[in-house]
Amino acid sequence: MWKYLVAWFVMLLVSITNGAIRDFTYGQYVDELTAHQLSSLSGIIVLGIIIWIFVKRFPLFSAQQAISIGLMWLTLTIAFEFLFFHYIGGHSWSALLANYNIFNGRIWVLVLIWIAIAPYLFFRFTPKI
């Protein structure tokens, strides 16, 4: 299981880099919502590649394991987001929760859904050798 914890840290670093790229490049030229949406979509793509690489390199043994890993990643990501950005970043709880309002165009929740289900999808649809 430690390999998949390492994978989460890799995904965390890539996500931080994705956010930095947004903030220092295209985020300066488009409105905040558009930057958020572009960053979320690029995050889904890049995280999907990372997840696929880890699942290919360290094959999952069962659907249950794949589901457990996805739920672990989801829990770690939400915990990191709320704890880090509230206590270190100084964001209010309401500002953090606003990022989950898909009806206002905030699609971050799709990234969370993706990291939760991707291990199972890659396990289920990757040919077994």
pLDDT at 28: 97
* Residue ranges of the chain whose pLDDT lies below 70: 128-129
pLDDT at 127: 73
- Burial of 70-92, coded b for 16+ CB within 10 Å and e otherwise, reads bebbbebbeeebeeebeeeeebe
Helical residues (DSSP H) of the chain, grouped into ranges: 2-24, 32-57, 63-83, 93-98, 108-125
pLDDT at 1: 79
